Structure 1
Amino acid sequence: MSESQKLVLASGSPRRIELLQQAGIEPDRLFPADLDETPLRAEHPRSLAKRLSKAKAEKALQGLKADGEGDVFVLAADTVVAVGRRILPKAETLDEASNCLRLLSGRSHRVYTGVCLITPGGKLRQRLVETRVRFKRLSREELDSYLGSGEWRGKAGGYGVQGLAGAFVVKLVGSYSNVVGLPLYETVGLLSADGYKVLAGWHAGVKG
């Protein structure tokens, strides 16, 4: 494989890795880019997802260049869950998760994922994907049981749709993989449009 065919994922998220693998894409390297993800004053959820995905890609590329590995595809993503303009946190505490789930219970919310690709030639491409999700009204027992599962930890909005919380979803309009953390259709489209041979990984299920 040529150097320019190498793909670096600027994330350590198991969910994003699994989604790429589902599309037959195996990142050559993981280069998580840790950033301050605090929203700016009055920042719209859409703008936050785009800003952070771009910042992650650029920070990863900076680190790769320092390692002498700048001639690669760098892919980054950031997922934001919001009710109206209110941005929900990536829940790290029980209280955060509880507050998120109480807010989501019985109502609709939106999930935005910004995807950013920097090509070996230095071109920067971005996509923003939006999915609408409606939760059932959660009973006290359902809420307590989900909080007890620990599945919410580190997840935007305090839940993971690919896990137990999938049972809470009444309706989903748009990309399911976007809610998991990486919209596959748009991501594969970005890579393919800039010369990354996505289908090369489909032969015998492995690349190279």
Structure 2
Amino acid sequence: MNKTTNGPFKTTETIILASGSPRRRELLADLGLDFEVHPSTADEPAPLPDEDATQYAKRMAEMKTLDVATSFTGRTVLGADTIVVLDGQIMGKPADEIDALAKLTSLSGKTHQVITAFCLFLPDGNTTTQAVSTDVDMRASGKEELESYIATGEPMDKAGAYAIQGIGTFLVTAIRGSYTNVVGLPVARVLEELLDTGIIQPRKN
């Protein structure tokens, strides 16, 4: 179990995080929340016909959350899914270095959207699912720069083939919206839901 005592909030019950993302773990730990990590093992299907990017992200977040929630009856489960969208097209994780270069080249010098959807499964069986979108402006990067970045290995397991909180920060010139949403979890929105449901409280001592 991840346990942090220095954050501004505390949990009234331990949250189940249905994600293995180190970035999501860090964001929850920074808040001071107690949580257990139990990643979903569900396959990620392709978008349905006529399903837009936001709908797809929300469906994936719900699928991952409910996949884990079946093993934790009466517990609070939080799952999420982050996608990168360019001109309405979803960009997944690169299949190889060639694909990573193609993705980064297409993003270079353009504005794209990062959409993170999260699903909160509550002990009473109710769920709430929301999605947040952030605009990200990318600098125009040369092929050699992108190849050097790919050689670090960082892009290979990232949607859109970059990590804003990592080495890939040099690719980004500006964002409009939630920064943590691009990292992998819209913290302010998630926080609102957790406070409203009483799952977390401000830490007074």
Normalising to structure 2: TM-score of the pair? 0.89
8 Å CA contact 2:14, 2:76 repeated in 1 = yes
Q: How many residues are matched?
A: 195
Structure 2 portions without partners, runs of 5+: 1-11
Residue aligning to 2:29: 21
- After TM superposition, the runs of 4+ consecutive aligned structure 1 residues lying more than 3 A away are none
- C-alpha distance in 2 between matches for 1:72 and 1:199: 20
Structure 1 portions without partners, runs of 5+: 204-208
Q: Does 1:9 align with 2:12?
A: no
Shift of 1:37: 3.6
Q: Does 1:199 align with 2:192?
A: no
Shift of 1:198: 4.2
Given candidates 141, 154, 173, the residue that maps to 2:157 is: 154
Secondary structure of the equivalent of 2:160?
A: coil
Residue aligning to 2:76: 73
Residue aligning to 2:3: none
Secondary structure of the equivalent of 1:41?
A: coil
8 Å CA contact 2:14, 2:34 repeated in 1 = no
Residue aligning to 1:206: none
- C-alpha distance in 2 between matches for 1:111 and 1:122: 29
Task: From the superposition, tell whether residues 199 and 130 of structure 1 become closer, same or farther in structure 2 (CA, over 3 Å).
Answer: same
Given candidates 136, 141, 144, the residue that maps to 1:141 is: 144
Given candidates 105, 117, 121, the residue that maps to 2:120 is: 117
Per-residue CA deviation, residues 40-97 of structure 1 (Å, 9 max, x unaligned), is 23321111111100111111111x1xxxx31110000000100121110122411221
8 Å CA contact 1:11, 1:33 repeated in 2 = no
Shift of 1:36: 2.1
- C-alpha distance in 2 between matches for 1:190 and 1:23: 14
Report the aligned-residue RMSD.
1.7
What does residue range 24-103 of structure 1 map to in structure 2 within 5 Å? 24-62=32-70, 64=71, 69-103=72-106
Task: From the superposition, tell whether residues 190 and 98 of structure 1 become closer, same or farther in structure 2 (CA, over 3 Å).
Answer: same
Q: Does 1:176 align with 2:184?
A: no
Residue aligning to 1:185: 188
Per-residue CA deviation, residues 134-164 of structure 1 (Å, 9 max, x unaligned), is 1000112211111101101211111110011
